[in-house]
Amino acid sequence: MHSKLVKLGLKSSTGVVFRPGFIYGKRKVDGFEIPLDLVGEPLEKLLLSIENFTKPLNSLPASDLLLAPPVSVDDLGFAVVNAVIDDDFFGVFTIEQIREAAAAVKA
């Protein structure tokens, strides 16, 4: 995505691309609420707690998809707000950078 933006002539210092992976929170579909946080939040805590053991596996193909901790929709929203109000935020944001940007708004 980032390379496509550069090809279009958009500077990487003027925009933000978020790469959160699995996003959890409550979701409404046809009037029914699906509590994705019942799966996402425990999975996030588990993957963050074993992060030191899974780091060596990052060089394997698709490990970033399988071992990436989920991100709360609230954290993603706070990170988006931070990117809108702070001109120092630009570029491609990883999961950790999303969490840091969200923490800056929450504080």
- What ranges do the domains of the chain cover? 2-106
Q: Over the stretch 31-56, which tens digit does the pLDDT of each residue have?
A: 999 999 899 999 999 988 988 888 88
User: End-to-end alpha-carbon separation of the chain, Å?
Assistant: 30
- The whole model's pTM is what? 0.75
What is residue 18's DSSP assignment? E
pLDDT at 99 over 80: yes
Better pLDDT: 53 or 5: 53
